[in-house]
A and B are shown apart, each in its own frame.
Chain A
Amino acid sequence: MKIGILCFQGDVAEHAEVVKTLGAQPIKVKYPYELEVLNGLIIPGGESTTVGALLEESGMSKAIQKRAQEGMPVWGTCMGAILMAKQFIENSIHQPVLGIMNIKVKRNAYGRQKESFEEEISIPALKCDSFPSVFIRAPWFEPNGSKVEILAQYQGKPVLVKEEHLLASAFHPEIAGEPLLHKYFLEMVKTSKYSSSRGLSN
């Protein structure tokens, strides 16, 4: 199974490491043609204004939007989730995004770095009631459509959401040492019809 990790900027290597440990093949991607062979894509943590602009300029935005529409499983962590959201809760922010998921996102929702934190949260979908989560200048989400499932909340705000083949997390499982959520995403990729519809081995 080939899992792309968008590698313009951010904690790319950390995701690649976990994907590899779980027996899938991580592939760092930044050019549209590299998406061809992928079974799924992870968009890591980083700075959304930086990566948003690079995505747009490189034509990668359009290429990812097309794949996502065709059903390619995509998971965004923190910045990745911000880029996937169709709407921001503050309207005043203008920056290029992918806009592929029916969620609203509040950037830096918990404050600045000194308000960043670690916490164990309950994720019923993973049968885990103490999932180690690192929130770094993290966002939270609001579902904006009937197909969006809330998989986890923190202090009453959704922090892990899923819409069919799309997954968004406000926190960073790639640096917390617990691979359960990566396993969950790989399972999403395995059971998705995307690969077989495109004749890709999975």
Chain B
Amino acid sequence: MPKEGTVLVKRGLAQMLKGGVIMDVTTPEQAKIAEEAGAVSVMALERVPADIRKEGGVARMADPSIIQKIMEVVTIPVMAKCRIGHFVEAEILESLGVDFIDESEVLTPADEQYHVNKHLFKVPFVCGCRDLGEALRRIGEGASMIRTKGEAGTGNIVEAVRHIRAVQDAVKRLTVLSEEEWMTEAKNLGAPYELVKQVAQEKKLPVVNFAAGGVATPADAALMMQLGCDGVFVGSGIFKSSDPAKRAKAIVQAVAYYDNPKKLSEISKGLGEPMAGLDVRKLPEEELLSVRGW
């Protein structure tokens, strides 16, 4: 009998996305542009993070009819976001047949105490993290893929860099600890012991880890790849720029050639205006998205 929704099948799809760019889209037209530019997947949502930031209010799962239309026009996998802890939005997204669910801090959290129990779903989940402890808590709840949170909708890469460095540093630290130190480290990280042990032994996260939150240029994307991410999510960075199709394609190429500065300089030429950026240090505490979830 074929077995659906197993750990191997769910984590497997994330493995197939490695080295790729996942783009936020709000309409079928944008989804086509993203696919033609070479996105490995699109994230269907109602508003890109920059608009959520500007317009405020409660940000929720996108209208299912928009998600369905996007699923109809592209052959690449389609992801969609649900609010943190909103398992009914997740159930709706699963029944629509989306290929991946992002339990995302970019939307307004529905539960400030608990995240979705992702083991119960056949569809894989991706979740955000700021450090190793948060990554392992989400994996413990059944996430099949992790993305560092960055600070979405800012066009500023600084938080994404902070988060990937925090994850990498903690992984490195684990690999030099002796066995008797693992439990204390698990306690300090607030992470499941079995996962801490696995990371210590395998010297890497058990699932694929993408970067997100602040990628606006090909150089940003390549930076995240050089820092050890498996791929990148680009939210507002594409459709808030002056020439989305061109920039989208350039970011795809930058991820493929992230270790080739000569190629990157060609790729980065004449792309028009990137999205306007925000200084994260000037954002008031209540406007930070990355602190949502725990």
A interface with B by C-beta (< 8 Å): 7-14, 30, 45-47, 49-50, 53-54, 57, 78-79, 93, 107-108, 112-119, 134-137, 172, 175-176
Contacts and interface: CB of A to CB of B under 8 A. Distances in A.
B252 interface: yes
9 contacts: A11-B16, A53-B38, A54-B253, A79-B16, A113-B99, A118-B3, A118-B8, A119-B3, A176-B8
- The interface residues of chain B, by DSSP majority, are classed as loop
Nearest to B39: A50
A11 B9 contact: no
B5 interface: yes
Contacts of A113: 13, 77, 98-100, 123-124
Given A7-B19, A45-B16, A137-B99, A116 B75 contact: no
B103 to A, nearest CB: 16
A136 B253 CA distance: 25
A46 B16 contact: yes
Given A47-B40, A119-B3, A136-B12, A114 B123 contact: yes
B24 to A, nearest CB: 17
B40 A134 contact: no
Interface in B26-57: 35, 38-41
A72 to B, nearest CB: 22
A127 to B, nearest CB: 23
A131 to B, nearest CB: 14
B94 interface: yes
Interface residues of B, number: 37
A54 B20 CA distance: 11
B20 A134 contact: no
B18 A10 contact: yes
Contact of B18 (A12, A49, A54, A135): A12
B277 interface: no
Interface in B93-146: 94, 97-100, 122-124
B78 to A, nearest CB: 8
B26 to A, nearest CB: 20
Contacts of B77: 47, 112-113, 137
Contacts of B255: 9
Contacts of A11: 15-16, 18
Contacts of B183: none
B9 A107 contact: no
Contacts of B20: 9-10, 46-47, 50
A8 B257 CA distance: 8
A11 to B, nearest CB: 4
A16 B252 CA distance: 23
Contacts of B100: 113
A118 B6 contact: yes
A119 B4 CA distance: 9
Contact of B15 (A108, A115, A135, A175): A175
Contact of B40 (A30, A46, A112, A119): A46
B15 A112 contact: no
A56 to B, nearest CB: 11
A9 B18 contact: yes
Nearest to A132: B8
Given A10-B20, A117-B6, 16 more contacts: A9-B40, A10-B18, A11-B16, A12-B19, A46-B19, A57-B253, A112-B77, A113-B77, A113-B100, A114-B94, A114-B97, A114-B99, A115-B4, A117-B4, A136-B9, A137-B16
A93 B252 CA distance: 21
B9 A134 contact: yes
A135 B122 CA distance: 14
Interface in B169-185: none
Contacts of B39: 50
B207 interface: no
A49 B38 contact: yes
Contacts of A108: 75
